[in-house]
Every structure is written in C-alpha cells, then in structure tokens.
Structure 1
Amino acid sequence: MDTRILHNAVIAGGLVCALNAAASGDEGCTASTGMMEPQYFATLPFRETPFAPQRGIHPMTAEMAANRNHYRFDYDGCGRVTWIRFRLGETVRGLNDTANYYHHAPQVEVQYRDGQEIRRFFDRHGNGIRSDGDVFTEVYTLDEHGYPERLDFFDEDGQPAANSWGVVRYEWLRREDGVVVETRHAADGSLLPLRPGLPFYTVHFHYGADGWLAVMRNVDAEGNPVVNELNAAQDRLEYTAAGDLLSWNVLDAEGRPAEGNGPAVAHGIIERDAYGYESVERYADASGAAMHSAYGFGYTRASYDRFGNRIERANYTLDGAHLQARADGYAGYRMEFDPTGLMRTSLELFDETGAPVARADQGWARTEFDHDADGNVIEIRYLDTDGAVIARHDTGYARVLQTYDGRGRLIAREYVDAAGNPVEDRQTGVARIAYIYGEFGFADAVQRFDLNGEVLAP
C-alpha cells in the first residue's frame, strides 16, 4: 500500500476536480446511451460536507468483492452514479464503520432530472426507508456545471424534513478561486454547526489539486477565520495516495497548531490497513508530542476478520497498556460473526487485562444475537461475566424479542426477563412496540403498550 502523504495545505485554484460536471442535466444521457460497468470499492472516503461527490476508494475486482465487504457503485452511460449498495458477496447488508457522515443506508438510488440530483434510500431487503432522521428524499439543486448549490430534505409527503442534526437545507456558494462556502439551516432559518460537536457555522472549504478537502475554516461575516468555543478556527487534512484520511490538524485563526475541538488535541493521526480500514488512531499536542485526548486515552487500535468486519477495538494509554474507560467501565470490545460473515452473533466487553467486564451503567458484559433465515435479528440477550442472562440495570429487561413480516420489516418488539416473561422498560414503561406500515413501505404508525396491553400515549 502506498502511504505517501499528499499535503493539501497548498490550495488549488479553480474548480474541485473530483466533481462530475456531467451531472448538470440529462443531455445525452438517455436509455440508449448504455450503462457503464459497475465498480467495487472497499471503503468510502472521509467527508465533512454533502457537497463532496459520491465516490469509493480502494477499488476491488468483482472476484475480490465476492468474499469481502464492499460498496458496489452502478453508473449510467454518462458516468453518473445511479446506485450505491453495501454488500458482502452478492448480499446487501447493513452499514458498518466504513461508511461516513453522509452515507446512511445500505442502498441508495440516485436519479437526475431538470438540474436536480435526487436520492432515495432502501434497507437491505429493498424496502424504502427514512434515512438519517425523517429524510425520505434528498434533492440537490445543481448549477450549470453540475456542482451542488443547495440540498433540501423532504419527507414522503414532499414537505421539508430535518435530518438527525436538525438540518433542513444546505446552501453552497462556489467562488471563482475554488473555495466553497457552506451554511446549514434549521426549519426556523437559524444557522446550525457543521455537525454536532464541531461548532463551525459559516465554513470555507478549500480543496487540493487532487480533489480532496484540504482545509476547512470557520469564518465571520467578512470571511476571516474565527476561533470557536472549542479553541479551533481551522482544520487541515492530509491523505494517503489512495485517498484515505491520514491526519487532521487543528489550527487557530493564524494557522498555528491548537489543541481544540472535541478531543482537545492538535493532531489526530490515523493508521490504516491495505483496505483503508482504520487500525490505529492516536493524538499529538501542538508541539507534535504524543498526548491523551479529552476522552482519556492515548490511542485506539482495531482489528478485522477476513470479510472486513471489525472484530475488536480497544483504547490504550501512551505506554501501550489497556485503559479502562472511566464512565463505562470497559477498555474495549470484541465481536463475533457467523461463518458467512454476514451476521454478528455476539459483542463482549473486556477490561484492561483482557478479561470480560460488565458495563458500569448497564450491568451486562456480553450481548448475544439470534437471527432468522433472512438474517434479521430476532432475539438480543444480555449476559454477565459468568455467562448468565441478566436484567440490564438501566432498563430492567434481559432479552429483546423481535418479529418481522415477509418483507423483512420489523413489526413487533417485546421486552422480557431471563425466563421469557414480559416486562416493562423501566425508563419508558413500554413492554411491547408494534409497527404499522403504509404505502411508502416504512412504519407510518408506532404503537407502544404497557405490561397490561394498554396503549401508551405517543
């Protein structure tokens, strides 16, 4: 793997070369144009804005994709993305940690018409779903060159909808020098931060000659960098030749290293394997010396199975010893999958010695998952360090039973004790939930019942 760093601090003028200008309309892209061959990628690249184009990194052959997790991209005759599916072999599956902030569904359909790019979302069974909050449809309005000018979210009735961050609309201004100016708007018109935990409001995105985001700046009304409440005014990003994010660097308004943003560090350094999967994340202070983050650990380490499933992740101190998490009581977790690699069968927590340990706030040390023939999770069990099924300390239930219809849609969830007797969730008073589906294929109504079968108020 080529780990050459592309230092993108030098900003390229002109347009962002990675965007597909053919997306501006349907001229020449008819049914007779023909389809391009599908492409397969191991991961999706890091993205800080939905302005960035849909693309994959770490290309794979169809033969490689037959035995590993991958994203399949389908294209029309003009090279525009029409579908993105996350799969293992030929089976569409739920997303894992290789997705990014702006990709939320196992299957995404993209259509183009009248200067718009329209995206819809589907679960692994092909059922239409709401994505990232109440979003049924994403509509990008494109300029004459195919670059997005705005993104609006809509529900199934065509009314404005908010994503999980409260955003109903993104707006972009693409300047002649190549800088992209972004704002995000709530339903009441107020500006929202770049994302939760990163309070950049009006943001200037600077792209490098390779098309990757190089610098993003939190700016005032005059376009000057301004330090936010987390001691950050700018982030500078570095990449490997393959397009993997290799490091993020926090800067003050003058461009000097600053220990800021959520982790309260100056540098985050990421090490990756040959498929682009994150294997280590570690931190450095303004002088470049290793440091602990605000979360209390020096670095994290992850490992994966032959399918590309993450099977272990742990937090470490600077001296390489496991660190027991302060609030949750565990240092890391291990996951097991069935022989096909498609179904997760367990998740177990461990302490700084590698021994099983109970989560401090919930009481369980291991979670087990049973599946039906279609891969749907039909039971979740919580166990202690001795392997006995126990009631969670926070909710009071020991098992969760789930039922699906013929299309793989969840229609009922029931909470029970270790012996299978119905119980109520201590936090909500709910013993059973029923999901009712409408014409668009997802739950239009949700009914909650107490232990006596009485319907609870929404």
Structure 2
Amino acid sequence: MSKAEEQVFYYSTLKFVETPLSYIEGSVPLRKEVALSRNHYRFVFDEFYQLKSIAFYNGETPRKPNHTANLFMLSHQIKFSYTDSTEHMFFFDSEGKVTAVLGNCSSFSYTIDERGYRKSLHFLDQDENRITNSWGIYQYQWSYQEDGSVIEERQDQAGESVAIRPGFEFYRLKLNFNHLGQIARMQNIDENGELIENSSGASQDVIYTNHEGNFLSWKVLNNSSDLEKGNGPNVALGRQFFNEFGYERQLIHFDENGSRIYSAYGICESRTEFDEFGNISERRFYDIEGNRGVHLEADYHLLKIEWSKDGNRRISLSYFTVKDQAVLHNSRGYHQVKYKYSSQNKLIRMSYLNDKGVLINRIDNGVAMIEFEYDSNGKVITTKKLNKDGKEI
C-alpha cells in the first residue's frame, strides 16, 4: 500500500485507560503544522481505516512517550497486525528496533471473538514465547455481560488470580464504560458478582472523564458505596485539571469529607508547567491550605527540568525549597542531576550534584555518576555506576 493511501492523524495526548481491553486512542487532535512543532502522537490508518501504528514524536524526532502516555503506550511506536481471530501489538524503540516493555514483552497477542471483541490477551517475548509480564500477569480474559459490563480476570502462569497491577489490590473486576466507551467504574467482585473490599477498605473506583478522554476525577468507594480512603494513593477522591493540550496542570487529593489530604505518595496538591514543546518544565507542591508546601517524602517544593533548545534532551533536573532555594532530595540526597550526551545525542553520563554543584553520592544507593557505552547499532552495551571518587560500584 502506498503512503498516499495511508491516513495520518495527530494528537497531543492519549485518552485515559485502566485496562488493555480498551483501545489506545488519541485525545486533543492537532493540525499537522501544530503537531510538527511540538510533542505529539501520530496515528496511521490504512485505506480501510484500520489502525496500523501509533508513534510519539517531538516535531520530526522520534521519542519515547512522556507524561502524555497512558498505561499501555509503552514505547516510541506500536505496530498492529490482524487476522479474523487475533490482534497483535508490536513494540519498537525510537530507532525502529524491537523493544521489550513490562519486563520482556515484545508483543501483546489478543484473541478476538466472533463479534470482533477482544476476548483474551497474552504476552510474547522476542522469540515468541509466552511469558509473564512485570506485573505478574500471564494472561487476561474478558467476558461480556448482558447489562453491558465486562468481567476482567487476570491469572499468573499457575492460573491464580492476579491484581490489576502492583499496589492496586483489585482482582476479579466488573468494568462499566460510559456512552463514549471510556472507563467509568471498576468493581472488585467475587465469583458470585458480590463486591469485595480489599485491605484498604475499597471495592469500587468511579472514574470521570471528559469527551476527550482526560481523567478529570475519581472516587474510591466501599461496599456500601460510601467514600473510602483506599487503594494506592490512599485518598477518597482526586481531581485533575488539564490545559488546552490535555496535559495535567493540577492535581488535588481529598478525604471522605471533602477535605484536602496528603496521599500515600506525599502529595496534597501539585501544579505543573510545560515548555513550548509540551515537556514538563516545573512542578510545585502545595499544602492542605493551598499554600506553598513540600512533597512530604522528598521534602522539596519545586522541581525544575531544563531541556535542550530543540526540546528533545533533558539537560538537568533540580529541586528547590518554598523560597526557591536549592535543596537536597530527602530520600536520594542530591540537589541536581546533569545529563551529558554524545555527538550522536546518546546519553553518556548522568551526574548527581549537591547544592554547590559538586558531585555527591546518593544516600539511597551511593551512586554519584552513571556512564553508558553503546555499540555501533546504538544499543547500550555497558552501564557503569561510580561514586564521587570514581570508584565503580
């Protein structure tokens, strides 16, 4: 098929998903001339409007997806192939080479039922062997109910039930979707369809999205459908706000009474700014009163990220106090990371610095520098971790 017969659509971000049952779809369409000046996704369809590939770029530069990705856009490019009873997704890096995601998964393999619905999913490595992904999942299975809901089950290789993902203790799921086909409710149920509260007291997640698939808010509920602090963040309600490109610019957490609260990850409220390409340039944290605060675990207020002039390479990452003064990350022990690249734009060194710009050993692992070497094909062949005295760790 000629390129002229292909149809290409451009989007700034992707719709929110919670399950690989959902298709990867673009959110916030862009005109081509706008897309080619910033980060964007390209969806390529054949003449029958069947999806061939999805890829992430900054202008014309292939990139690994950033904050705009969803749970299953895991590499620069995904290519799709189909038969009457199967669908395959193949993952490629920014150099066009096959890459592994979620552990050693090089492809996702779906079976399709007689109605064209996704019925099951398993994972293959580069040699096409079935494997377990890094979430401990060997396969997914879906059954479609008369009320329009879908039952999702996940098993390990021994056939035992597996959580939706690490830190999210929902097992057998009843999924409900809204009129746009976007996830609206997830319920943790037993074999009889009865709600089961997990160890955090949660049995239901209610999800609100807009017409563009942006994840506006969520509620965590117990068996009685009362608000319950639970699941990974250990909050009862979260609200997110987006800019015109569909980027999350603000996140706030609440308890059962609607009061602002810190999540288990140390965040009450975050506000994020972006550069002209759509890269994160700043993120600040705020306290329960809405004043400048800190990330409770890391003990910094402001994260700053500096990018190259073309927006493709991270130059530095730094932490600051509520007074915008340099500070050391509380659990890692450095103020700044600096990135050095080769003439081929390959990352060759990461250096960890204190607030005086001097090399410092991280307090979590003792590393002060990481150096990378590549083969002629651009693949990393050695990674060296060094302390501030240059001794390999």
d(CA) in 2 for partners of 1:313, 1:224:
41
Q: Deviations over 1:124-179 (max 9, x none)?
A: 01111111111122101011222110001011222221212011111100122211
Structure 2 gaps, min length 5: none
Tell me the CA shift for residue 296 of structure 1.
4.0
d(CA) in 2 for partners of 1:142, 1:94:
29
Whether the 8 Å contact between 2:270 and 2:284 is mirrored in structure 1 is yes
User: For residue 49 of structure 1, what is the aligned residue in structure 2?
Assistant: 19
Determine whether 1:111 maps to 2:81: yes
Q: Identity of aligned pairs, percent? A: 33
Of 173, 193, 205 in structure 1, the residue corresponding to residue 175 of structure 2 is: 205
User: For residue 129 of structure 2, what is the aligned residue in structure 1?
Assistant: 159
Whether the 8 Å contact between 1:265 and 1:293 is mirrored in structure 2 is yes
Q: Deviations over 1:256-310 (max 9, x none)?
A: 2222222222210001111110011102222333333334442111110010001
Which piece of structure 1 moves more, 280-289 or 344-353? 280-289
Whether the 8 Å contact between 1:269 and 1:281 is mirrored in structure 2 is yes
Of 247, 271, 276 in structure 2, the residue corresponding to residue 277 of structure 1 is: 247
Relative to the length of structure 1, the TM-score reads 0.82
Which piece of structure 1 moves more, 318-327 or 182-191? 318-327
Of 334, 350, 353 in structure 2, the residue corresponding to residue 364 of structure 1 is: 334
Superposition pairs for residues 334-345 of structure 1, below 5 Å? 334-345=304-315
Provide the secondary structure at the position in 2 that maps to 1:63.
helix
- CA 1:54–1:397: 2 relative to 1, 3 Å: closer
Whether the 8 Å contact between 1:249 and 1:257 is mirrored in structure 2 is yes
Whether the 8 Å contact between 1:374 and 1:408 is mirrored in structure 2 is no
Tell me the CA shift for residue 229 of structure 1.
1.1
d(CA) in 1 for partners of 2:194, 2:171:
13
User: For residue 56 of structure 2, what is the aligned residue in structure 1?
Assistant: 86
Provide the secondary structure at the position in 2 that maps to 1:57.
strand
d(CA) in 2 for partners of 1:312, 1:193:
33
Tell me the CA shift for residue 65 of structure 1.
0.8
d(CA) in 2 for partners of 1:115, 1:76:
19
User: For residue 101 of structure 1, what is the aligned residue in structure 2?
Assistant: 71
Provide the secondary structure at the position in 1 that maps to 2:190.
coil
Determine whether 1:224 maps to 2:199: no
Tell me the CA shift for residue 417 of structure 1.
4.5
User: For residue 208 of structure 2, what is the aligned residue in structure 1?
Assistant: 238
The AA in structure 2 aligned to 1:71 is Y
- CA 1:400–1:290: 2 relative to 1, 3 Å: closer
Over the aligned positions, Cα root-mean-square deviation in angstroms equals: 1.9
User: For residue 214 of structure 1, what is the aligned residue in structure 2?
Assistant: 184
Whether the 8 Å contact between 1:297 and 1:318 is mirrored in structure 2 is no
Whether the 8 Å contact between 2:266 and 2:297 is mirrored in structure 1 is no
Higher relative contact order (CA 8 A, sep 6+): 1
Of 359, 363, 371 in structure 2, the residue corresponding to residue 389 of structure 1 is: 359
Provide the secondary structure at the position in 1 that maps to 2:200.
coil
Whether the 8 Å contact between 2:267 and 2:296 is mirrored in structure 1 is no
Q: Deviations over 1:30-58 (max 9, x none)?
A: x5998441111111111110000121100
Determine whether 1:424 maps to 2:383: no
Whether the 8 Å contact between 1:391 and 1:398 is mirrored in structure 2 is yes
d(CA) in 2 for partners of 1:249, 1:102:
22
The AA in structure 2 aligned to 1:208 is N
d(CA) in 2 for partners of 1:291, 1:394:
27
Equivalent residues, number: 393
d(CA) in 2 for partners of 1:336, 1:292:
28
- CA 1:396–1:199: 2 relative to 1, 3 Å: closer
d(CA) in 1 for partners of 2:87, 2:266:
43
Relative to the length of structure 2, the TM-score reads 0.95
Which piece of structure 1 moves more, 295-304 or 163-172? 295-304
User: For residue 283 of structure 2, what is the aligned residue in structure 1?
Assistant: 313
Whether the 8 Å contact between 1:34 and 1:76 is mirrored in structure 2 is no
Whether the 8 Å contact between 1:110 and 1:120 is mirrored in structure 2 is yes
d(CA) in 1 for partners of 2:114, 2:245:
36
Provide the secondary structure at the position in 1 that maps to 2:326.
coil
Whether the 8 Å contact between 1:54 and 1:81 is mirrored in structure 2 is no
Provide the secondary structure at the position in 2 that maps to 1:358.
coil
d(CA) in 2 for partners of 1:288, 1:72:
39
Which contiguous aligned blocks of 4+ residues in structure 1 show a shift greater than 6 angstroms? none
d(CA) in 1 for partners of 2:34, 2:60:
12
Tell me the CA shift for residue 418 of structure 1.
4.5
d(CA) in 1 for partners of 2:102, 2:79:
15
Whether the 8 Å contact between 1:92 and 1:124 is mirrored in structure 2 is yes
Determine whether 1:135 maps to 2:118: no
Provide the secondary structure at the position in 1 that maps to 2:167.
coil
d(CA) in 2 for partners of 1:127, 1:357:
40
Tell me the CA shift for residue 393 of structure 1.
3.1
